[in-house]
Chains A and B, each alone.
Chain A
């Protein structure tokens, strides 16, 4: 596990202010994440739920929801499948942890290189996202701890609301992170976008 740290897909993006000047810009950052996909084996749902509770202190979240514990967040992505995400440490660290925890009840795939997370927050975040996101992000329909997969600008995107600011984490395929960011800059241009 001594491979060099991969170059972030958005490493070349110009930091600083984009779009209009304003007091409440869209704040965008690119948090480095370990992302691991967990796929339950047939009939092992109870064993997986127990393993997730033991290893990560998380109750496996149901459709459209997420759950956090001990620095790891589990996001429901489809029936019997979750994404585990955590701040990036060393290559494969979370995948090794997950593979040990779920060795008998689930298949585990490290997606850290394949997916890129873009964090978006600010008072204008909801309005900017709604320019391309078809799901209802209004607080009565969505909120902190909720997540949904949906195409945004024709790019498959996992939308995860992390707090009521509102802050969102958008996870897309790494190869499409740059075109997706271009869309985000266009969508946020009327409010201004501050890339950290």
Chain B
């Protein structure tokens, strides 16, 4: 069970959140070719280590959050709002 410190609501249990995937992929612009959109849609890094992820606080304030989580230890090191930037350590 993860405890995720929501910047609005405080620490809450994982069951209140929905995992929404890798937060580092960015959508190609309107002039992006089919290959760029293919990569955006299907390709993910699946790292062993730190990853910035989207989690939506569905059971609380309903906002989308960026969470820096370790995929092996599940340690949550940082949480930010959607417009902020989280750096992946050592990546």
Residues of A within 8 A of B (CB): 63-64, 77-79, 134-135, 148-151, 156
Nearest-CB residue, chain A, relative to B59: A151
Given contacts A64-B9, A79-B8, A134-B12, whether A150 and B60 have CB atoms under 8 Å apart is yes
12 new A-B contacts, CB < 8 A, other than A63-B61, A79-B8, are A63-B8, A64-B9, A78-B60, A78-B62, A78-B63, A149-B9, A149-B59, A149-B60, A150-B12, A150-B16, A151-B59, A156-B59
| Cβ contact within 8 Å between A79 and B61 | yes
Q: Is the CB of A79 within 8 A of B63?
A: yes
A-B contact pairs, 21 of them (CB 8 A): A63-B8, A63-B9, A63-B61, A64-B9, A64-B10, A77-B61, A78-B61, A78-B63, A79-B8, A79-B61, A79-B63, A134-B12, A134-B16, A149-B9, A149-B59, A149-B60, A149-B61, A150-B60, A151-B16, A151-B59, A156-B59
Q: Is the interface of B mostly helix, strand, loop or mixed?
A: loop
A-B complex: 9 closest residue pairs judged by Cβ atoms: A78-B61, A151-B59, A63-B8, A149-B60, A134-B13, A78-B62, A150-B59, A79-B63, A79-B8
Residue ranges of B at the interface with A (Cβ–Cβ < 8 Å) = 8-10, 12-13, 15-16, 59-63
Chain A contacts for B63, CB-based, 8 A: 78-79
Contacts of A156 in B (CB 8 A): 59
